[in-house]
Chains A and B, each alone.
Chain A
Amino acid sequence: AQKITQTQPGMFVQEKEAVTLDCTYDTSDQSYGLFWYKQPSSGEMIFLIYQGSYDEQNATEGRYSLNFQKARKSANLVISASQLGDSAMYFCAMRAYSSASKIIFGSGTRLSIRP
């Protein structure tokens, strides 16, 4: 069975600072993918970044980077130079390719950026 754990229900960060959102996962699959999504108050799910289990380099997308530590089964999201518009819920998610490509989500972290 797959499981995603996000241990930070909420975080407050000063604008322009960097922030790390924690995510650990559990799977017996060798082939899997890890995702981070942002959900603002409007409810839409915005894809941020993807890391494949066989990718040797950490994924980066603009201000977002994924700190992938495979042995520790962690996939933390780092947001550099945070902005007020980054305030939202953030979900870590995983897809194990043996399970029909379905994505399961962690419980989420509510990030609030202080001006």
Chain B
Amino acid sequence: QSALTQPPSVSGSPGQSVTISCTGTSSDVGTYNRVSWYQQPPGTAPKLMIYEVSNRPSGVPDRFSGSKSGNTASLTISGLQTEDEADYYCSSYTSSSTLVFGGGTKLTVL
């Protein structure tokens, strides 16, 4: 199972919006709405930010939103804050009953 494709890095200034893409195939992202997004600041454990494409767990700011079109899922962070600087990973359930992660995207808040 190949990893989902994410851009290695994205950046934005405080207050701006950024979008991170996550491209899979018809065997994962394209077929299942079981796409999640995780935030991982350096040296810490991952934190769930979005599940099932667009749902936010309690406590996650509504500045974080998710969507999907075809084989590509996206995470949008609006009103960027310095505390958002972290690595972000998408994941998707697959037709093989496994889970595949993206390679990760480093978000820099300038």
Genuine A/B complex: no
